[in-house]
Chains A and B, each alone.
Chain A
């Protein structure tokens, strides 16, 4: 039995925030869970998947977030408590369904939507604030400010969802999802495990005016509950000089700031955990006791707007209040907050001396670390097949000479934007956007564009959102080359299985799982498909060159080679790679460090003292590509076993 599924009320466990969410779902008797991987949300389904057999629940990695929320809603309509998890980008994909589901309501099982935001975009292409979706679509919203709350609120979200028949959204952030703290367990409810769809009910949003009114009535009820919710807490003096209103991880920073500055007697902290529908009366009551309010939260001033709105409603009652927050420039509008930033802002508001961390400190940390770490920009792993794929594509485009280009999207292969990916990618937007752009670009022949158009996606992205683009392209006869970098996993988020995998979130294999074939799907659309090995540099370069000479319709090149980390885990290294120092030309004319200066695999490094390339045996994964590109044959590869 896992520590996450122990029925041991009162026990304390050190849990990661995402594990706390899992525990909350288990305590609530979740029966169905789905998600598309995306950091910082990914561990939720990974952990639930591992426990699926033991708990008798169903867990899946869905093809994309829209399908994930729809699948979970389906289970909810059949009476099962259902959970759907995603990162902030995911809610954009799911939003089309959500905008209708708020009016239709969910089933008797309830449906909890976990959205993990990524302030600062640490592992994202943006730092979108998903909370605006709750307001935009009118979805009740809970924001845990810690790890115990992450568990307790998830459980509460199920109860609320089931009671009100509405989707309830729990918004986490990186520091809540990925931090760890002690969590006290509660009892595990068994929950309904019998599914039945009630055919007496039609699930629809019509007539919209009516269902919208019903929604508002429910939200009014929820607001009343939120006004009284124990999740909203206050600590501080009765009449604080300054009232800090916080939510989420910012609450922890606010507490630390007050502590650091010794302001416990002057500053009160009101933590709002139920941020939509907004408990304005609770807020107004607290604002009445102060003349200064500082709102502390991450990303967009969502709470700040709600607080000011509440103030406008109750201004006559409250009297004069001066506001501080993101809109006043007291706190930065971008990136993550941290205790130092919040302490500095608080000190300023309180007119106190505080010396924030010198901005040069980070630079110093970096420079000191450099004595132990190689200096390099964001790169592919040693032996990553994407590096080889981009190397091959780059060469093919140069040989072609018509200024052909590659558009892409989100995945490890986004590194193609930077020097470590040879700057080969010309655009990155959302999942599948490269293929979408290409369907348009592939129609521009009649406007005189003769540049070869290539789009790139990963295997997981292919299923997630490239298929509709290819359908469009096939129908309109758009002329471009779709490159699918198939590394057999959703690699960037932790090698989760996807629709093309031979296993799934629950670890099923064999006949229980259908591994969909990318090539068959493409062929069924009439695309010309070739399967290539990116490690075969001359062969793949030639194939790309030949393919882009074909200007008739969509061509699909599947560059297939397993993620090197996946291989490594399976102890499946192909080659032992060595450098013959006698043969290595180094930076002499005739080479000038092709392997380290241009190819840039971190598995090879430049020995400045001896002026030769060397293999870093610790991180080399033995793909052998460097041996094939070395112009002097100085790098040798010795097969460990048949690939």
Chain B
């Protein structure tokens, strides 16, 4: 990654197919848009500096710096990142949720209490995940549920900030949370959407699919317009389930995995380590979420929500975390190996990862 500017984002990230599609560079300027999950460059930008470079989760990221500036801790390379507390959680409200409904309830709570004036979420148009700006608690539930392909969610953050939102809550996958953290950690930049982020709810993520590949695959096999949702049941099922108005269809996961975005293979973060709180499924109990509380603000908000009867928090049995921890550690190691393989003969042997040497050694084992 030579010149630290827009050209790097355009050439070394987007054109090199290492883009996560997070949307951090979208709607900042007229040159980059997200289209069908793909980040499209209309025209090159010849600026030497640009917010796209500063915010992109695939340009150099000083993990220690953003860890300090978000959680207050150093980046240790631990599997689940820095945290204060891990709960089993679920929404106290009635509703149909993919799991415990923790994310929907938290965002609603933040809106109701005025902690945020705007929520940046991921909705859907057909099976295409789209960035959404929501300014009323009523709109939050529409965005509930896992999306299986990458979404330019942060483009909505950029839009909302430009439109004057001052306290924005963001629900973000790990790459999106990392970009949001880079925004927050960047000082002295005009029109930095990060200045208006009030709270980040991170989502666990192991990978995201390339929308266009998924679309083409499914188009050949069913009527896309009948799709109502997706799911990947717990092992050992090894299937990708597609809910349609005509019933559920299953496809072998081995046919789906090749559609995983390239960028996911270089992701070290399964649990959105730079969010205020991170939420995912709870192994063995689909009525609950795993809730990792990382920041003091996260801790305060979660506990207020529990006090107000919005969220139910339970102790997390230590043993339940074993799988999650193992998987998160594996992802870190695999990704770092992959990056090293690609970058070892370049100036930056660890690619976009800038972390203390001992941390890298620790992850690589």
Tell me if chain B binds chain A.
Answer: yes
Residues of chain A having any CB pair with chain B under 8 Å = 394-395, 398-399, 401, 587-592, 594, 597-598, 629, 631
Question: Which secondary structure characterizes the binding site on chain B?
Answer: loop
User: Once the chains are docked, how many angstroms separate the CA of A467 from the CA of B43?
Assistant: 34
A395 touching B38 by the CB < 8 A rule?
A: no
Contact B35 A587 (CB under 8 A): no
Q: Residues of A contacting B125 with CB < 8 Å?
A: none
- B35 A592 Cβ-Cβ under 8 A: no
Inter-chain contacts of A398 with B (CB < 8 A): 40-42
Q: Are B29 and A598 in contact (CB under 8 A)?
A: no
Contact in complex: A395, B42 (CB < 8 Å): yes
Contact present for A590 and B42 (CB under 8 Å): no
Is the pair A589, B30 in contact by a Cβ cutoff of 8 Å?
no
Cβ of B134 < 8 Å from any Cβ of A? no
Chain A residues near B51 (CB-CB < 8 A): 589-590
Which one of B42, B47, B190, B191 contacts A587 once the chains associate, using CB atoms below 8 Å? Answer: B47
Residues of B near any A CB (own CB < 8 A): 28-31, 33, 35, 38, 40-43, 45-47, 49-51, 190-191
Q: List 15 A-B contacts (CB under 8 A).
A: A398-B41, A398-B42, A399-B33, A401-B35, A587-B47, A589-B28, A589-B29, A589-B190, A589-B191, A592-B31, A592-B45, A592-B46, A592-B47, A597-B46, A629-B30
Known: A588-B190, A591-B29, A594-B31. 20 other contacts (CB 8 A): A398-B40, A398-B41, A398-B42, A399-B33, A399-B40, A401-B40, A587-B47, A589-B28, A589-B47, A589-B51, A589-B190, A590-B29, A590-B51, A592-B29, A592-B31, A592-B46, A592-B47, A594-B30, A598-B43, A631-B29
- Give chain B residues whose Cβ lies under 8 Å from the Cβ of A591: 29-30
Given contacts A399-B35, A629-B30, A631-B30, contact A589 B40 (CB under 8 A): no
Minimum C-beta distance from A608 to chain B (A): 16
> A595's closest neighbor in chain B, by CB?
B30
Which 7 A-B residue pairings sit nearest by Cβ, starting from the closest?
A: A631-B30, A598-B43, A399-B35, A589-B50, A594-B30, A590-B29, A592-B47
A289 to B274, CA, bound (A): 97
Q: For B38, give its contact among A401, A594, A597, A629 (CB under 8 Å).
A: A401
The smallest beta-carbon distance between B183 and chain A, in angstroms, is 13
Contact residues in B for A598 (Cβ distance below 8 Å): 43
Q: How far is the CA of A320 from the CA of B51 in the complex (A)?
A: 78
In angstroms, how far is the closest chain B Cβ from the Cβ of A274?
57
| Cα A588 to Cα B42 with chains together (Å) | 18
Residues of chain B contacted by A590 (CB below 8 angstroms): 28-29, 51, 191
Give the distance to chain A from B81, nearest Cβ to Cβ, in Å. Answer: 30
Residues of B within 8 A of A594 (CB): 30-31, 43
Identify the closest chain A residue to B27 (Cβ): A631
Complex Cα distance, B31 from A28, in Å, reads: 62
Q: Min CB distance, B8 to chain A, in Å?
A: 14
Residues of A within 8 A of B33 (CB): 399
CA distance A455 to B35 in the complex (A): 24
CB distance from A633 to the nearest CB of B (A): 11
Per the bound structure, the CA–CA distance linking A399 and B38 in Å amounts to 9
The distance in angstroms between the C-alpha atoms of A450 and B42, with both chains bound, is: 21
Partner of B49 from the list A395, A399, A589, A631 (CB cut-off 8 Å) is A589
* Whole-angstrom distance between the Cβ of B14 and the nearest chain A Cβ: 11
Identify the interface centre among A588, A589, A594: most chain B CB within 10 Å of its CB. Answer: A589
- For the complex, what is the distance from the CA of A615 to the CA of B191, rounded to whole Å? 26
Closest to B51 in A: A589
In the assembled complex, how far is the CB of residue A243 from the closest CB belonging to chain B, in whole angstroms? 59
Task: Give Cα distance in the complex from A377 to B30, angstroms.
Answer: 24
**Of all chain A residues, which has the CB nearest B158?**
A590
Closest chain-B Cβ to A468's Cβ sits at a distance in Å of 35
- The distance from the CB of B199 to the nearest CB of chain A, in whole angstroms, is 25
Give A629's nearest chain B residue, CB to CB.
B30
A594 to B35, CA, bound (A): 20
Q: Which A residue sits closest to B38, measured CB to CB?
A: A401
Closest to A590 in B: B29
Nearest Cβ on chain B to A280's Cβ, whole angstroms: 61
